[in-house]
A and B are shown apart, each in its own frame.
Chain A
Amino acid sequence: MRKIKKIKTIKDLEQSIQSQIQARKSEKKSVLTVSAGTCGQARGSLKVIKSLEKAIKEQNLEDKVKIKVTGCHGFCEAEPNIIVQPVNIFYQKVQPKDAKDITSETIINNKVIDQLLFTDLATGKKVSNENNIPFYKKQKRIILGDNTLIDPTDMDDYLSIGGYRSLVKALSDMTQEEIIETVKQSGLRGRGGAGFPTGYKWEFARKTKSDTKYIICNADEGDPGAYMDRSLLEGNPHRVLEGMIIGAFAIGAGEGYIYARDEYPLAVEHISLAISKAEEMGLLGKNILGTDFDFEVQIVKGAGAFVCGEETALIASVEGRVGEPRQRPPFPAVKGLWGKPTNINNVETWANIPLIIEKGAEWFSRIGTNGSKGTKIFSLVGKINNTGLVEVPMGITLREIIFDIGGGIPGGKDFKAVQTGGPSGGCIPKEMLDLPVDYESLAKVGSIMGSGGMIVMDENTCMVDVAKFFLNFLRDESCGKCISCREGTQRMWEIVTDITEGKGKKGDLEFLEALAKATRDASMCGLGQTAANPVLSTIRHFKDEYEAHIKDKKCPAGVCKELIQYSIIAENCTGCLACIKPCPQDAITGELKKVHVLDQSKCIKCGACYEACNFDAIKIE
C-alpha cells in the first residue's frame, strides 16, 4: 500500500478526500468485491479470492479487473458472495472452481453466469442485479451499504466514498454546541439497547465540568444472536472512528476506548489497523488537523462476560477490575472512567454520527417514525430463509422483515415467533406480525429493541425451551452482586427446567410470574431488571405450550427430550438404511427396502436419524 503523507490541515484532508473520490470515479477496471467478514471466511471466501487471483493472472486480466476484499455484505445466507462492480451483478455461494468462469465469462465476455445468480423464491426467477434481490430491495442501507464498497484495511478507500468529510465539516464549520444540537435534532437514539437519546447524553457529558473526559465505544455485543457491531467494525472501521472523533470533539474528550468482544478477532484486527492509520495520517493524536483538539483511541479487549456490556460494569472492566455494575446515579456522564465524565455509545450509534453531520438532522429525522428515527440493523437469523444482516427504516413491520426481506421460513414450516432484544427481550407471536418495529411498539408487547438480534422460530421451536435457554444464559452471566438477580434467575431456571422435564406442577406459572416480577423490581442493573422478559413474554403469548408441558407432559414442538419419543413411520420408510449408521446407539435395525425398527430402550434421542432421513419417516412426538 502507498504510504500516506501526514495530513496537516483540514484543507489538506478535504483535498485528499476529493482526490480519492476522483480516483474512484475514474476507475476503469471492473471490481470483484468479495465478502470476507468472519462469516464469509467461514464459508470459504479466502479460497475463492485465491482462485480469482490465479484466474486473473492466468488470463492476463490485471488491467481489466481487480479484486476487492470487503467486510460482510449482509446477505450471509449467500456467502461467499461476489458483487461485480460497476454493473452490480450479484453472484452467490461462489466456489473456488467458479473463479475461472467469472473472469472469462463475466469480465471478458460481459456475460452473466446464470448458475451463480440468486433465485427469487417467490417467483422462481433468477435475479442478477444486487438491488433487485428481494433481500436487499426493502432495506435502507445507509450504514451497512458502504460495506460492499470499501476495503476496510485501506483508508484511501474510505476517503474515496467521502469518508471523513463529516469530520472536515464538524471541525471547520461547526461549533461543539452545534454538533450536539444537530445530533439532538436528528432524534438519534442509542443502538446498544436502552435507546437513550444520543444528543442529550452528549450534552450531559459536555456540561459536566472536568479537565479530563472520556468517550467509549461499546463493542461488547453480548446479545447472542446479534452481530451487526462485529460487521461494522470489520467492514467499515473508519466510519466508527470518524463518529468517535466527532463525538470526542463535541464533548471535549481527549481519550477514547473501544471495548471489543473477545470473540471477535477480525474486528479487533481491522479497528486496530484503522486506528494506527488514522494516527499516522494525523486524524488522531495531538493538534488534530492543525486545531487545538487532541484525541487518542485505545482498544480494550473484553474477556468474555456478558454483564460487561452494561456501561458501569464495562468501565470497571476497562479499569482492570471485576466487571460488576454499580448503582446509577451518578451516571457515567458525571462520574465514569476513573471518576471522570464519560460518554458511552454503541458501535452502531457511533456509525450513525458521520451521516447525521454530513446530511443534517432534518434528513435523518425524516427516516423512521415519530419516536424512533433513522434505520436499525437487525441480524435476521434462526429459522429463516434469507439469513443475514438487514438494515431497515424504523417503523417497518415484522412481517415485512421476516417475509419480504427474509423470504419466510425454510422447509414449508410455520412461523411461530420472533425473539427480539436478546436476553433482555421477549418473544413476539404470529398474531403480532404487523407490529411496527420501533422502540415503543416493541416495549408494548413485552419485548425491547435491544441491540438488534431477531431470531426467528418455527413450529419446531419449543417456547418453554427458549425460556429455559435464556434463563440458563442469565443465571450463568449474572455477576452475583444482587441476590435478587443471582437467586431469581437461578430459581426461575430450575422451575422452567422442571417443566421441560415433565416435573412441572400446578401453580408453577403463577409462581414464575411472581418471581419474575421480584427479580425485575429488586435488581440494580439492566441484566436483572430485564431477566424476566423472556419468561414473562413466553408465558404471556404461549401459555398453552407451557400447559401442555405441565398438564399433558408433552412438548408439542418435539424438543424437550424427557417428553418426546422418536419412532419410525412405517408408511414413509423406504428401507434406505440411511438412518442406521448415524445412530450412535445402534438402536435402529433393518434391511434394505424393508421398514426399519427403532428400539426405544436404546434410543438416547440424539436426533441423528431425524437428520439423516430423507423421507420424513422419523416421527417425534
Chain B
Amino acid sequence: MEAEELKVKSYITKYNNEKKALISILQEVQEEYNYLPQEVLKIVSKALGIPLIDIIGVATFYRAFSLEPRGKHLITVCLGTACHVRGGPKILEEFERKLNIDAGETSKDGQFSLETVACLGCCAIGPVVVIDGDYHAQITIRKVGSILKKHFKKE
C-alpha cells in the first residue's frame, strides 16, 4: 500500500492539497483505478482534511464516480432525447440480453460494465454507443451482436 499511497498523494500534491480540488482528484483516482477504492478515499480524506463521509457524499452525488469496481470493458449506451426517439432503449435491451446483465451492472467475470448516459453530444448520428472510448453511430438492434464480436474477438 505504501507505493499506492505515494501515487495517490502525488495526485493530491498536484492540486496543492487544496480542498476545492476534491472533484478533480477523485476524477484522477477514478481514471487510475476505474473506480474509487475505499482505501484510497481514506488517504484523500486525511490529506485534504475532509471527513470521509463528505467525500462519499460527493462521490455518490456525481454520476461519473463509481464506488464499485467496474468491468475491464466499458459499454455506454446513450439514452439522451435524440437517441431515445430513435430507439435507444431497444438498443440497451439488446445489450442487456446479449451480455446477460442489466444497465448499471458488471458481468460476473469482471469483463463488461454496461452503463447508460444522457447524451454524448453526437445526437445527429444516434443511437450512439461507446465501447472503450470508440464511438459507434446509428446502431440498430441487429448491429449490437456484430459490434460486440468485432470489439472482443481477440478475447
Which chain A residues have a beta carbon within 8 Å of chain B's beta carbons?
38-39, 41-43, 76-77, 79, 221, 223-227, 230-231, 261-264, 267, 300-306, 317-323, 379-383, 387-389, 419, 422, 453, 455, 457, 461, 466, 469-470, 473, 479, 582, 584, 606-608, 611-612
From residue A597, how far is it (CB to closest CB) to chain B in Å? Answer: 21
B135: interface (CB < 8 Å): yes
B19: interface (CB < 8 Å): yes
The 8 sampled A-B contact pairs (Cβ below 8 Å) are A76-B125, A225-B123, A301-B24, A320-B23, A389-B124, A469-B81, A582-B141, A611-B142
From B23, B58, B82, B90, contact of A607 by CB (8 A): B90
B73: interface (CB < 8 Å): no
Quick one: closest A residue to B22, CB to CB?
A320
From residue B122, how far is it (CB to closest CB) to chain A in Å? Answer: 4
Quick one: closest A residue to B118, CB to CB?
A224
Known A-B contacts A42-B136, A611-B141; the reply to A317 vs B23 at CB < 8 A is yes
Contact yes or no, A306 B118, CB < 8 A: yes
Q: Report the bound CA distance from A41 to B120 in whole Å.
A: 13
Known A-B contacts A303-B63, A322-B58, A607-B87; the reply to A39 vs B20 at CB < 8 A is no
Residues of chain B contacted by A323 (CB below 8 angstroms): 61-62
B65: interface (CB < 8 Å): yes
Residues of chain A contacted by B64 (CB below 8 angstroms): 262, 302-304
Known A-B contacts A76-B124, A322-B58, A611-B141; the reply to A455 vs B63 at CB < 8 A is no
Contact yes or no, B124 A387, CB < 8 A: yes
From residue A230, how far is it (CB to closest CB) to chain B in Å? Answer: 4
B67: interface (CB < 8 Å): no
20 more CB-based (< 8 A) A-B contacts, given A39-B125, A225-B119, A303-B62: A42-B125, A42-B136, A230-B121, A267-B121, A301-B23, A304-B117, A318-B20, A320-B20, A321-B58, A381-B82, A381-B126, A382-B85, A389-B124, A453-B123, A457-B85, A466-B85, A469-B81, A584-B94, A607-B87, A608-B142
Q: Report the bound CA distance from A461 to B86 in whole Å.
A: 9
B27: interface (CB < 8 Å): yes
Contact yes or no, B124 A305, CB < 8 A: no
Residues of chain A contacted by B87 (CB below 8 angstroms): 607
Please name the 3 residue pairs, one residue from A and one from B, whose CB atoms are nearest each other, closest first. A224-B80, A76-B124, A304-B63
From residue B27, how far is it (CB to closest CB) to chain A in Å? Answer: 6
B14: interface (CB < 8 Å): no
Contact yes or no, B21 A320, CB < 8 A: yes
B41: interface (CB < 8 Å): no
Of B23, B121, B140, chain A has the most CB atoms within 10 Å of the CB of B121
Contact yes or no, A383 B85, CB < 8 A: yes
Contact yes or no, B121 A79, CB < 8 A: no
B9: interface (CB < 8 Å): no
From residue B72, how far is it (CB to closest CB) to chain A in Å? Answer: 20
Known A-B contacts A319-B20, A322-B61; the reply to A606 vs B90 at CB < 8 A is yes
Interface size of B by Cβ–Cβ distance < 8 Å?
A: 45
From residue B83, how far is it (CB to closest CB) to chain A in Å? Answer: 8
Residues of chain A contacted by B26 (CB below 8 angstroms): 303
Known A-B contacts A263-B121, A322-B61; the reply to A455 vs B135 at CB < 8 A is no
Contact yes or no, B125 A300, CB < 8 A: no
Contact yes or no, B121 A41, CB < 8 A: no
From B19, B81, B117, contact of A453 by CB (8 A): B81
Q: Report the bound CA distance from A422 to B117 in whole Å.
A: 15
Q: Report the bound CA distance from A225 to B127 in whole Å.
A: 11
Quick one: closest A residue to B90, CB to CB?
A607
Q: Report the bound CA distance from A230 to B128 in whole Å.
A: 16
Contact yes or no, B62 A227, CB < 8 A: no
Q: Report the bound CA distance from A542 to B123 in whole Å.
A: 25
From residue A318, how far is it (CB to closest CB) to chain B in Å? Answer: 8
Quick one: closest B residue to A585, CB to CB?
B97
Contact yes or no, A227 B122, CB < 8 A: yes
Residues of chain A contacted by B86 (CB below 8 angstroms): 382-383
Residues of chain A contacted by B23 (CB below 8 angstroms): 300-301, 303, 317, 320
Q: Report the bound CA distance from A320 to B20 in whole Å.
A: 4
Residues of chain B contacted by A453 (CB below 8 angstroms): 81-82, 123
B148: interface (CB < 8 Å): no
Q: Report the bound CA distance from A121 to B140 in whole Å.
A: 24
From residue B49, how far is it (CB to closest CB) to chain A in Å? Answer: 12
Quick one: closest A residue to B81, CB to CB?
A225
Quick one: closest B residue to A480, CB to CB?
B61
Q: Report the bound CA distance from A363 to B23 in whole Å.
A: 43
Q: Report the bound CA distance from A301 to B27 in whole Å.
A: 9
Quick one: closest B residue to A388, CB to CB?
B124
From residue A453, how far is it (CB to closest CB) to chain B in Å? Answer: 7
Residues of chain B contacted by A379 (CB below 8 angstroms): 82, 123-124
Q: Report the bound CA distance from A77 to B122 in whole Å.
A: 11
Residues of chain B contacted by A227 (CB below 8 angstroms): 119, 121-124
B28-87, CB < 8 A from A = 57-58, 61-65, 79-82, 84-87
Contact yes or no, B126 A43, CB < 8 A: no
Q: Report the bound CA distance from A230 to B135 in whole Å.
A: 16
Residues of chain B contacted by A306 (CB below 8 angstroms): 118
Quick one: closest A residue to B122, CB to CB?
A39
Contact yes or no, B62 A42, CB < 8 A: no
Contact yes or no, B62 A584, CB < 8 A: no
Residues of chain B contacted by A381 (CB below 8 angstroms): 82, 123-124, 126
Residues of chain A contacted by B85 (CB below 8 angstroms): 382-383, 455, 457, 461, 466
Quick one: closest B residue to A581, CB to CB?
B142
Q: Report the bound CA distance from A422 to B123 in whole Å.
A: 13
From B22, B62, B121, contact of A38 by CB (8 A): B121
From residue A468, how far is it (CB to closest CB) to chain B in Å? Answer: 10
Of B23, B24, B57, B119, chain A has the most CB atoms within 10 Å of the CB of B119
Q: Report the bound CA distance from A77 to B138 in whole Å.
A: 11
From residue A268, how far is it (CB to closest CB) to chain B in Å? Answer: 11
Contact yes or no, A43 B125, CB < 8 A: yes
Q: Report the bound CA distance from A388 to B94 in whole Å.
A: 27
Residues of chain A contacted by B128 (CB below 8 angstroms): 42
